[in-house]
Amino acid sequence: MRRLHLLFIIILFLPFFLVGCMGGKIDENMSEQLPDFEYTTQDSEKLSLEDLKGKWWIASFVYTNCTTICPVMTENMVHLQEQFKDKQLDIEIVSFSVDPEFDTPEILKQYAKEHQVDFSNWTFLTGYDFETIRNLSVNSFKTSLQKASPGTGNDQIAHGTSFFLVNPKGKIVKKYDGVGDKGQEEAVEDVKAIQ
């Protein structure tokens, strides 16, 4: 009878133990399902949400004419990419242009080369109109995006400075500071935990 009782306890708790051993848990601070999309890459190919299914990926919003925060964000993402590679962490990086009218695939590719981006796991996207990317930014990623007011002499686009972790089902699960070092450190630790 004791054996049967012990066997019952093992069977009851085994799934919880196995789940705990199958990868770490991260402290999620978002829970937003992305809508289907299909946009154009820096190589003039198509990339869709369906193509990213089954993969963890980090997203950012930048544009090539940005003179303020985008160069910092891009350099931080380059640094993140190097850390992922050094630690042999398998993750994709996707950067959405918030200035799709100007940022053609060729311009995005040149920008990425200037920042020494490794294209093996990093894709830049364009090929939509501003309203489409604004809706994705505001409604799904919950981050601001606004064109400069006409007649102000300012052509800079105001956008959020976060990086976002997206799970293999296309759900945004975490937001990080894309400007400071702490966000990068946290992203590396989280990606290690989910591998």
Asked whether the predicted pLDDT for residue 17 surpasses 50, the reply is no
DSSP class of 148 = P
Query: Which tokens hold the place of 73?
Result: 């964000």
Position 156 scores a pLDDT of 87
Position 25 scores a pLDDT of 86
Position 3 scores a pLDDT of 54
Position 2 scores a pLDDT of 56
**27-194: CATH homologous superfamily?**
Glutaredoxin (3.40.30.10)
Position 111 scores a pLDDT of 97
φ and ψ at residue 163, rounded to 5 degrees: -105, 150
139 vs 147, higher pLDDT: 139
- pLDDT above 90 coverage of the chain, percent: 79
Q: What is the mean pLDDT of the chain?
A: 89
> Is 97 in contact with 132 (CB distance < 8 Å)?
no
DSSP class of 6 = H
State the pLDDT confidence band at 183, using cuts at 50, 70 and 90.
very high
Taking residues 86-115, report their average pLDDT.
97
Position 185 scores a pLDDT of 95
Look at residues 161, 136, 189 and name the one whose alpha carbon lies nearest to residue 76: 161
State the pLDDT confidence band at 152, using cuts at 50, 70 and 90.
low
How far apart are the C-alpha atoms of 81 and 123, rounded to whole Å?
12
- What are residue 175's DSSP bridge partners? 164
How far apart are the C-alpha atoms of 79 and 66, rounded to whole Å?
19
Position 20 scores a pLDDT of 40
Taking residues 123-150, report their average pLDDT.
93
Report in angstroms the alpha-carbon separations of 127 from 103, 171, 194, 195: 9, 22, 31, 32
Position 149 scores a pLDDT of 65
Position 148 scores a pLDDT of 74
How far apart are the C-alpha atoms of 170 and 96, rounded to whole Å?
15
Q: Which residues are annotated as part of the binding site for Cu cation? A: 66, 70, 159
Q: Which residues are annotated as part of the binding site? A: 66, 70, 159
Taking residues 179-186, report their average pLDDT.
93
Taking residues 149-165, report their average pLDDT.
82
pLDDT tens per residue across span 63-96: 999 989 999 999 999 999 999 999 999 999 999 9
